[in-house]
Structure 1
Amino acid sequence: MQSTYNKEPEIRISGEGHNLWSGYAAIGQEMAARLAGKAKAILTVECYPGVRIEEIVQGLQSTLMIGHLFHAEEASLGKEPLEALLAPYLTEDRVFGYMSPLELAQCYDPAKLEAIRAKVEAIREGLVVIIGFGASLVTRGDVLVYADLARWEIQLRYRSGELGNWLADNREEDILRKYKRGFFIEWRMADRLKRALLPDADFYLDTNRKDEPNLITAASLFACLDQAAYRPFRLVPYFDPGVWGGRWLEEKIGLEPRSNPYAWGFDGVPEENSLYFRIGASRLEMPAINLVLFRPEELLGEQVYARFGAEFPIRFDFLDTMGGQPLSLQVHPLTAYIRETFGMAYTQDESYYMLDVGDEATVYLGLKEGVDSEAMLNDLEKAQQGGFSFPAEHYVNVYPARKHDHFLIPAGTVHCSGCNGMVLEISATPYIFTFKLWDWDRLGLDGKPRPIHLEHGRRNIQWDRTSSWVEQNLVARAEPVGEGEGWKEERTGLHELEFIETRRHWFTGTVPHHTGGRFHMLNLVEGEEAIVESPDEAFEPFTVRYAETFIVPASVGAYTIRPAQPAADSKLATIKAYVRA
């Protein structure tokens, strides 16, 4: 069957006056028009770390006569003082750092900034361009442009070797260490600056695609955010190969075949996914996190925002082992541990919803009765030394997995997906905090051993999560909670230790929903196509297809979901997650 999964979902923006300039020639002409009539004009281009600064400079020079160019980073602290400032948050660990509270201004030398300001002030005529991550610390200028890109694009630039971290000569460094520096330090500083600065900017520059920039006024950008915050929408998905990957995503989603199979699919992670805005004949790409940063109450709801701040606390993603290998045997940190050790406010509770299964699909979950903790840890340590394979089945429960089973995984529970499963992972958002205990004697795609964190693991494994407790609390729970004409609602979890509530709706007719002031994240887990509608036509009907994840902002309130075609003979189903009251 031809896949109907939409890999490029767009939010179509209505209304007039939302101009979009594409390409450096058009952008340069608009800048020239905005600065016309000034003997001396200052153009400040503030950049998210990872933006191709030289590309922007060259692109503008093709149209504008730049008289004076200043790179903001010339005023930074310098390599040694900067590394000393960042060291407590980087740590020696390959994967994990500590969540940095730093502001970008702390990475700059006030005297050097003042020296650049003095030079700029002394200029009497011509176009002055100040650019870089921190350009706005010099001056706002006559025109302020914010240049942005998505974190997934940054990761691709890390991987290709094109990009190192900000002010770090590390383009060839291990991708995990580059990602760590971005995740724990750079992106946190950048988001703080963006949230403070973008409302004061004149323009927003989309730099996700090489030599294909798009410029929009900041006023129009915020109008786009306003429209997105009051309707259902999808994020732009991306898919990634992995050592344990299967073939389901390639075959069912219709992805380009890869020599290394796809392991992950991310279509519900606002911190890393993008949004596409369709504005007339043009399309703007923007990091989805911007909607969270600038419209948190409308998107999240007042209570969720008060609890988590401007963060989207739930994510949906795919784990494909169909015809592949098991994930690493792993455990996630307890809340107190993640707070004290990594500076995170909440932890990575999660669950596995079996979107599809093959023959003999399994899930590893919890420990067997009577497990000797020291013996298990000794065997894990022995396996790490090589020449010994950890006997996972001796210590860990292995459960058969059927389509639509839901396995709950509160932090501290040993687990992993086995072979021949297509998992919709429903999780809290701190998604890099996986302590691998055992990786089945294999190497990563880079030919290096994947990082194992036994010391972290031993401090978080809950040894009382054994067979009887797991089977009573975590395996395939489905409690009927409501029904109406053509629909039935079930509570499938999550465990009381987790803050996420999940509800499954089976339906052949129209299902009423209400956000209750909290955002909903859903996936169509059964059926080809459904329609999401507003009872009072507050938004246009929204189409979702099999396996697509979508978000309903808290501001929406009442909405309905129905089959796109009459479904008397076949049921559709959605799984819905939201923050429990």
Structure 2
Amino acid sequence: MRSSNYDKFPCVPVAAEAGACQTGWPAIIGALQAALRANPTAPDQPQVLAVECYPGTDLGQLRQELAQTLQPGQYLVADDLYRTPAEIDEMVAGPLTDDPVFGRLNGLTVADFFAPQKLQKAQATLAQAMGQLVVVVGTGAALVCPNPAVVVYADLARWEIQRRQRRGEIANLGSDNFTEKASLKYKRAFFVDWRAADRLKKQVLPRADFLLDTNDPAVPKLIRGADLRAGLAATVRRPFRVVPFFDPGVWGGQWLREVCDLPDGPPNYAWGFDCVPEENSLLLGFGEARVEIPSIDLVFFHPHELLGEAVHGRFGTEFPIRFDFLDTMGGGNLSLQVHPLTEYAYDKFGLAYTQDESYYMLDAEPGAVVYLGMKEDADFPAMLADLQLAQDDPNAPFPATKYINEFPARPHDHFLIPAGTIHCSGANGMVLEISATPYIFTFKLWDWNRLGLDGRPRPIHLAHGAANIQPDRTTAWVEQNLVNQVELVASGPGWREERTGLHEREFIETRRHWFTDVVPHHTHGGVQVLNLVQGAEAVVESPSGAFEPFVVHYAETFIVPAAVGAYTIRPHGLGAGTECATMKAYVRT
């Protein structure tokens, strides 16, 4: 293994003005009181402070701080105006399905959660609070009072929501399922809560007077909405990184712990999510203060500048490229799996595109392999029968090498995995996974006869898998189409560029640059995602000085917005005098 100066808390500096960020409840309350004084209402109208909350926000803490200090005439909680938990469970049952992992994307909105009579009664009460301060908080607060005097948006990072789910601190939106398995809470949030809340966020956050960050309950932070919007506008004009997070798994390894300097405690780190903007967060720097927001907010606010016209036109306000780490160094095999074909993903789950992907080997021990595609003489029906037998009988393990190819995996090998291709990474490999974003849709076929970290079998989806495995992707085809498809496409003084894929069925293009000197790059009007796959350090610069030099370290993933245009990368600092390499991905247009 190797050590690294990997930055776990990358920050985008956006403002250093004194007072740009209010830290701690006394300062936050003072700023809100000043805003209320600056926005008086007519004597025959209530003065409403609306605190729109992303699901998972601690409403108890808000009540303690806002109600006790501001002492409003009325204090309303939007969540109290919802339908009953039983009614909401029935409403979401269709989209959720009875599968433990997969649901169906849907059009539910936060407004659908409200009980009409409760909402009407609350609005009538609010209208009678003439001349009084009224505080409305919760998910849907902006719907309770459409024209408040002051709007605060209390946002929350998805990773923090997952941690609260695992600790049993929160239930799903409108539910009382505090004790339900964290995986089922996550599934419900993924298919229902977050979709509905994001639809409302797109309406409320652009007009919010303030952004409230309560990711760390002990150190809440408040910034003006104008400063948030200015910060996001600055971010899409320069390269940046999102905040990575890491998680253990049954097959996890030890490479990430060492290279990324992760804390002891978990038995391993299986996943590293270094560029999944729907779930990662973004740190904005206001002097010494750091304000954490979901990085998807940047996609919502600036899709044109971030994604580019062609990518935005195709994917809307979604970030279609994902980079993440899969660590099996000193661990075990990933589950044998397959991803859905595009038509299957749409028909069964409402997805517009599927998870095509690839494995780029950042590192590998001697003897490491990647399982990819079926062998030439494999009997497909017999393989399905053996998979079913292995599922039914723990004493009948699936003979993977009888049916599935094993390809040696060495550092810098690139394995392409279009949807429908059976695959998994073996033990003692370190994978940089480059893929399309719908990462939750993985059909596990065989999990090597092991239990999850919770001591229970992980869900297997043989029926889904059997409907999607392409049995004609056998050894010769895989070798000719999916393994190390490297082509030299350009070179210059001190650098060369190679095309490494992906397959023509996949919409992502990947390019590897080896360099000892300055490499010219250009976004060509589309977002690009890169990782420094070799070399200790490099610097990204603007030929015109449009942004400050941006330093990246080994294994760090960074995003270059479409609006950046021309940029260069060269070895820097500890990487100077060595050959460095980046892997770049972008959407083919």
2:459 to 451, 473, 477: 451
2:519 to 501, 507, 511: 511
After TM superposition, give the deviation of residue 493 of structure 1 in Å.
Answer: 0.4
Note the alpha carbon deviations across 1:295-331, whole angstroms, 9 max, x for none.
0010000100000000000000000000110000000
After TM superposition, give the deviation of residue 64 of structure 1 in Å.
Answer: 1.8
Distance 1:199 1:565, change over 3 A: closer
Q: Give the TM-score normalised by structure 1.
A: 0.98
Q: Hey, what's the Cα distance between the residues in 1 that align with 2:513 and 2:206?
A: 40
> 1:168 is aligned with what amino acid?
S
Q: Do 2:15 and 2:285's aligned partners in 1 also have CA atoms closer than 8 Å?
A: no
Matched, 1:66 2:67: no
Matches within 5 A, 1:520-559: 520-559=528-567
After TM superposition, give the deviation of residue 512 of structure 1 in Å.
Answer: 0.1
Segments of structure 2 that go 5 or more residues without pairing to the other structure are: none
Distance 1:281 1:472, change over 3 A: same
After TM superposition, give the deviation of residue 14 of structure 1 in Å.
Answer: 4.1
Matches within 5 A, 1:362-441: 362-386=369-393, 387-441=395-449
SS at 1:262 equivalent: coil
Segments of structure 1 that go 5 or more residues without pairing to the other structure are: none
Q: Do 2:369 and 2:406's aligned partners in 1 also have CA atoms closer than 8 Å?
A: yes
Which sits farther off after the overlay, 22-31 or 545-554? Answer: 22-31
Note the alpha carbon deviations across 1:331-370, whole angstroms, 9 max, x for none.
0000000001001100000000000111211100000012
Matches within 5 A, 1:109-258: 109-139=115-145, 140-258=147-265
SS at 1:304 equivalent: helix
Q: Hey, what's the Cα distance between the residues in 1 that align with 2:266 and 2:320?
A: 34
Which sits farther off after the overlay, 564-573 or 210-219? Answer: 564-573
Q: Do 1:25 and 1:60's aligned partners in 2 also have CA atoms closer than 8 Å?
A: no
Q: Do 1:18 and 1:220's aligned partners in 2 also have CA atoms closer than 8 Å?
A: no
Distance 1:425 1:506, change over 3 A: same
Note the alpha carbon deviations across 1:128-157, whole angstroms, 9 max, x for none.
111111111111321111111011111111
Q: Do 1:368 and 1:396's aligned partners in 2 also have CA atoms closer than 8 Å?
A: yes
Q: Could you tell me the percent identity over the aligned residues?
A: 58
> 2:587 is aligned with what amino acid?
V
Q: Do 1:13 and 1:277's aligned partners in 2 also have CA atoms closer than 8 Å?
A: yes
1:303 to 300, 305, 310: 310
Note the alpha carbon deviations across 1:386-405, whole angstroms, 9 max, x for none.
22100001110001101000
Map of 1:102 onto structure 2 = 108
1:463 to 448, 456, 471: 471
After TM superposition, give the deviation of residue 125 of structure 1 in Å.
Answer: 4.0
Q: Do 1:527 and 1:571's aligned partners in 2 also have CA atoms closer than 8 Å?
A: yes
User: How large is the Cα RMSD of the aligned pairs?
Assistant: 1.4
Q: Do 1:328 and 1:440's aligned partners in 2 also have CA atoms closer than 8 Å?
A: yes
Q: Do 1:316 and 1:426's aligned partners in 2 also have CA atoms closer than 8 Å?
A: yes
After TM superposition, give the deviation of residue 108 of structure 1 in Å.
Answer: 1.6
> 1:85 is aligned with what amino acid?
M
SS at 1:550 equivalent: strand
2:484 to 464, 476, 480: 476
Note the alpha carbon deviations across 1:413-471, whole angstroms, 9 max, x for none.
00000011000000100001000000001000011100000010000000100001000
Q: Hey, what's the Cα distance between the residues in 2 that align with 1:14 and 1:108?
A: 39
SS at 1:397 equivalent: strand
Q: Hey, what's the Cα distance between the residues in 1 that align with 2:67 and 2:88?
A: 31
Distance 1:394 1:74, change over 3 A: same
Distance 1:565 1:220, change over 3 A: closer
After TM superposition, give the deviation of residue 2 of structure 1 in Å.
Answer: 5.0
After TM superposition, give the deviation of residue 86 of structure 1 in Å.
Answer: 1.3
1:273 to 269, 274, 280: 280
SS at 1:66 equivalent: coil
SS at 1:477 equivalent: coil
Note the alpha carbon deviations across 1:237-259, whole angstroms, 9 max, x for none.
11110110111001111111234
> 1:564 is aligned with what amino acid?
H
Q: Hey, what's the Cα distance between the residues in 2 that align with 1:338 and 1:226?
A: 34
> 1:468 is aligned with what amino acid?
A
SS at 1:254 equivalent: coil
After TM superposition, give the deviation of residue 102 of structure 1 in Å.
Answer: 1.4
Q: Do 2:532 and 2:554's aligned partners in 1 also have CA atoms closer than 8 Å?
A: yes
Q: Do 1:25 and 1:63's aligned partners in 2 also have CA atoms closer than 8 Å?
A: no
> 2:79 is aligned with what amino acid?
E
After TM superposition, give the deviation of residue 174 of structure 1 in Å.
Answer: 1.7
After TM superposition, give the deviation of residue 23 of structure 1 in Å.
Answer: 1.1
> 2:116 is aligned with what amino acid?
P
Which sits farther off after the overlay, 306-315 or 6-15? Answer: 6-15
Q: Hey, what's the Cα distance between the residues in 2 that align with 1:373 and 1:543?
A: 49
Note the alpha carbon deviations across 1:544-572, whole angstroms, 9 max, x for none.
00000000000000000001049786310
Note the alpha carbon deviations across 1:463-505, whole angstroms, 9 max, x for none.
1000010000001121000000000000000000000000000
Q: Do 2:537 and 2:574's aligned partners in 1 also have CA atoms closer than 8 Å?
A: no
Distance 1:402 1:99, change over 3 A: same
Map of 1:27 onto structure 2 = 28
After TM superposition, give the deviation of residue 84 of structure 1 in Å.
Answer: 2.4
After TM superposition, give the deviation of residue 164 of structure 1 in Å.
Answer: 1.6
Distance 1:562 1:569, change over 3 A: closer
Q: Do 1:75 and 1:113's aligned partners in 2 also have CA atoms closer than 8 Å?
A: yes
Q: Hey, what's the Cα distance between the residues in 2 that align with 1:74 and 1:57?
A: 13
> 1:376 is aligned with what amino acid?
M
> 1:446 is aligned with what amino acid?
D
Note the alpha carbon deviations across 1:257-303, whole angstroms, 9 max, x for none.
23421100011110111111111121110100000111001000010
Q: Hey, what's the Cα distance between the residues in 2 that align with 1:505 and 1:495?
A: 19
Q: Do 2:113 and 2:174's aligned partners in 1 also have CA atoms closer than 8 Å?
A: no
Q: Hey, what's the Cα distance between the residues in 2 that align with 1:388 and 1:577?
A: 41
2:350 to 331, 343, 357: 343
> 1:422 is aligned with what amino acid?
M
Distance 1:370 1:69, change over 3 A: same
Map of 2:91 onto structure 1 = 85
Q: Do 1:29 and 1:63's aligned partners in 2 also have CA atoms closer than 8 Å?
A: no
> 1:128 is aligned with what amino acid?
V
Map of 2:8 onto structure 1 = 7
Note the alpha carbon deviations across 1:9-56, whole angstroms, 9 max, x for none.
000114758721111111111111222366752111111111111111
Q: Do 2:529 and 2:558's aligned partners in 1 also have CA atoms closer than 8 Å?
A: yes
